[in-house]
Structure formats: structure tokens, C-alpha cells
């Protein structure tokens, strides 16, 4: 799937890692809780994909920008697209946490 050709905004995982050090971001990790055991970003909020999609209006605000993260970037692409369709500001983390070894647990 070549989803970089879409009109939605992306940030490569490595760039997100650098940006986290420079500013406070709202990162939503849409992976399931058991996936967080492998790796996680301490400042990210975990809202599994289906919970987020089911409760968008009660969980998010339209005046905030959300960075959507998953393992490889495929689920986050889909969720980012849905959020944009509903009028939210969202940025897909391309490549996901799989490309951010800084967050892998030993």
C-alpha cells in the first residue's frame, strides 16, 4: 500500500522522535494494550483503534492536533483519515513505533 500519496499529513517516525524532544505533542497510540508491552512512548495516550473510532466525539477536541501512532503506520493511516473526515486535526506517524527503536523495551 502506497499511502504516502494521499493528501493527509504524515510525519516519519524518526522525525516524531526528534519533535517530542522539542515540544509537547498530543500523541495517541492506537495499539491494543498488550502491544504496549513491547514498546511505548511515555507521553503517548493509549486509546485502542476501535475504542477511539467508537468514541471520537467524546474523546477528542477539534481545536487540538493529534499525532496518531500504531506499530507500522497502517492502522494510524486509516484512523488519521477517519479523523480528518470528521473534521479533526490529525497527523499520521508514518512507519509507526517499529521505526523508533528508542522506545523498545529490553
Q: Is 5 a member of any domain?
A: no
**The total number of structural domains that make up the chain:** 1
Indicate which residue of 27, 30, 52, 70 is catalytic: 70
What percent of the chain has pLDDT above 70? 92
Q: Is 29 a member of any domain?
A: yes
Q: Is 70 a catalytic residue?
A: yes
Q: Which of 97, 93, 77 minimizes the C-alpha distance to 85?
A: 77
Q: Is 55 a member of any domain?
A: yes
Query: What is this structure's pTM?
Result: 0.90
Q: Which residues contact 49 (CB under 8 A, 6 or more apart)?
A: 30, 31, 70, 75, 78, 79
Q: Is 27 a member of any domain?
A: yes
Q: Is 96 a member of any domain?
A: yes
Q: Which residues contact 14 (CB under 8 A, 6 or more apart)?
A: 95, 99, 100
Structure-model confidence comparison of residues 62 and 8, the more confident one: 62
- Residue 10 pLDDT greater than 60, yes or no: yes
Q: Is 54 a member of any domain?
A: yes
> What digits encode the pLDDT tens for the residues 89-101?
999 999 999 888 7
Q: Residue 44: which CATH number?
A: 3.40.250.10
What mean pLDDT is predicted for residues 51-66?
A: 97
- Specify whether the CB–CB gap between 59 and 47 falls below 8 A: yes
Domain containing 48: what range?
Answer: 10-65+90-100
Q: Is 82 a member of any domain?
A: no
- Binning pLDDT at 50, 70 and 90, where does residue 3 land? low
Separation between Cα atoms, residue 53 and residue 64, nearest integer Å: 17
Q: Is 84 a member of any domain?
A: no
Amino acid at each position: 500500500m502506497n499511502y504516502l500519496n494521499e493528501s493527509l499529513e504524515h510525519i516519519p517516525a524518526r522525525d516524531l522522535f526528534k519533535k517530542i524532544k522539542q515540544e509537547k505533542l498530543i500523541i495517541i497510540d492506537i495499539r491494543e494494550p498488550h502491544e504496549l508491552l513491547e514498546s511505548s512512548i511515555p507521553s503517548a495516550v493509549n486509546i485502542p483503534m476501535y475504542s477511539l473510532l467508537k468514541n471520537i466525539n467524546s474523546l477528542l477536541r477539534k481545536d487540538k492536533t493529534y499525532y496518531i501512532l500504531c506499530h507500522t503506520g497502517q492502522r494510524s493511516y486509516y484512523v488519521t483519515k477517519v479523523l480528518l473526515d470528521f473534521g479533526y486535526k490529525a497527523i499520521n506517524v508514518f512507519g509507526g513505533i517499529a521505526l523508533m527503536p528508542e522506545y523498545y523495551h529490553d
